[in-house]
Amino acid sequence: MEKRVYIFTGVPGVGKTSAAVRLAERLDASYVNLSTLVIEKNLYSSKDEANDAFEVDVEKAHPVIKHLIESSNRTLVIDGHLASDIVDRESASLVFVLRRAPWILKSELEVRGYSKEKVRENIEAELIGVCLTDAIRVFGANRVCEIDTTSKSIDMIVEEALSMIHGERRCLSSVVDWLALADPEWLRSI
């Protein structure tokens, strides 16, 4: 099999890391966590102490990621919600945008200890599909595969991704519409 680059993106709490690690195992591919790489290689411009988050320096990160992809002789599975900002369009074979019902995601982020502001910010991003929009803008709709992870195990998510990789299932995007499904009372509460 020739070298491929598969990207997992989405807001925090949708299952990116677990699915990406499992897919890398299944494909005997190399796994790359963009957040870890940014910290280890000092590819950030500042740290937001309040939210324990790093501001990625795209100018520094982009060439490092590009070199990593070009120099690898193995298939890569890249995990990170900022992939659209630092991975080149032509590098991506397929981009999996993982989505999760915001009313479920909210609980996951609270359990992780996210601040109320950070929970709200990520819920809003999921509601309106920020990661999906970014992925389509950068990589093109023909390479972007949207997967609703709500109520699915990691194995189910990976099987869905594999079926798209092998062409057994069509890769679709813009199929999830949380605003149409959300309870209006819940929407007002966030």
Are 69 and 5 within 8 A, CB to CB? yes
Per-residue H/E/C for 124-184: HHHHHCHHHHHHHHHHCHHHEEEEECCCCCHHHHHHHHHHHHCCCCCCCCCCCCHHHHCCH
| Among 167, 153, 152, 138, residue whose Cα is nearest residue 62 | 138
Neighbours of 112 (CB within 10 A): 11
Burial 152-179 (b: 16+ CB within 10 A, else e): bebeebbbbbeebbeeeeebebeebebe
Q: Domains in the chain and their CATH numbers?
A: 5-101+130-175 (3.40.50.300)
In this prediction, residue 121 carries a pLDDT of 93
Pick from 101, 131, 104: which is nearest to 11 by CA? 131
CB contact at 8 A, 21 and 68: no
Q: How is residue 53 written in tokens?
A: 């988050």
Q: What is the pLDDT of residues 103-134, one digit of tens each?
A: 999 999 999 999 999 999 999 999 999 999 99
51 pLDDT tier (thresholds 50, 70, 90):
low
Q: What is the DSSP letter of 49?
A: T
Beta strand 5-9 with 76-79 is: parallel
Report percent pLDDT > 90 for the chain: 76
**Stretch 91-108: mean pLDDT:** 96
Q: How confident is the model at residue 176 (pLDDT cuts 50, 70, 90)?
A: confident
pLDDT band (50, 70, 90) for residue 55:
confident
> Amino acid identity, residue 7?
I
Q: Is the dihedral of CA 74, 80, 81, 84 positive or negative?
A: negative
Stretch 144-172: mean pLDDT:
96
Q: How confident is the model at residue 50 (pLDDT cuts 50, 70, 90)?
A: low
Q: What is the mean pLDDT of the chain?
A: 91
Average pLDDT over residues 85-102: 96
- 174 neighbors 146 (Cβ within 8 angstroms): yes
When pLDDT is averaged across residues 49-76 and rounded to a whole number, the result is 88
pLDDT band at 48 (very low <50, low <70, confident <90, very high): confident
